[in-house]
Amino acid sequence: MASINLTRQNGPFKYDAYLGFSVYDMPLVDQLREKLERRDILCYPKYDPAFSTQSVQTAIREGVARSQKCLLYVSQSFIEDQWYTFEVAEVLNKVKRFSRDMLIVLKDPHLVEMPSDFSGYTELAADISTFENPGALDCLALTLKKGKYFCTIKKCVC
């Protein structure tokens, strides 16, 4: 897995995507991260063992500020995470400053109701296994790189 030491050299953002998730969702999100990085998407994950000395608060602040897009994997454990309120506030503040399109929400399929924090934002209610499909993964990568958005669950619309 690539380290978050790799960054983009040009432009205001050093990463393509900040990945927000619960520590319990880390194995799933790490698999997605590896696939995205193979498609030249530089990711800044909230939890990264390479930066275990960095505080979670610092990781959230830097990750959100230094990334072009924010991809949040919203599960029940994410909502119950002690950093949820801080993290969502950081992301939504960035959305207000830049664009609603910079937030992509992946909703865990087991989550019954999406938190009201995300009402009005586009969400992709999909199991991460959806991205086993190379076409869906290509669309997500394109969304993170170019800003094009796909909004159907199992079918990619780029």
Tokens 């586009």, located at residue: 122
DSSP letter at 131 equals: G
Would you state the pLDDT for residue 102? 83
CA–CA distance, 72 with 103 (Å, rounded to integer): 8
Q: What is the pLDDT of residues 51-65, one digit of tens each?
A: 666 789 999 999 999
Mean pLDDT of 1-14: 63
Domains of the chain with CATH codes: 15-146 (3.40.50.10140)
DSSP letter at 108 equals: P
CA–CA distance, 18 with 49 (Å, rounded to integer): 15
Q: What is the pLDDT of residues 117-144, one digit of tens each?
A: 887 665 555 566 677 777 778 888 888 8
Amino acid at 139: C
Q: Name the more confident of 112 and 25.
A: 25
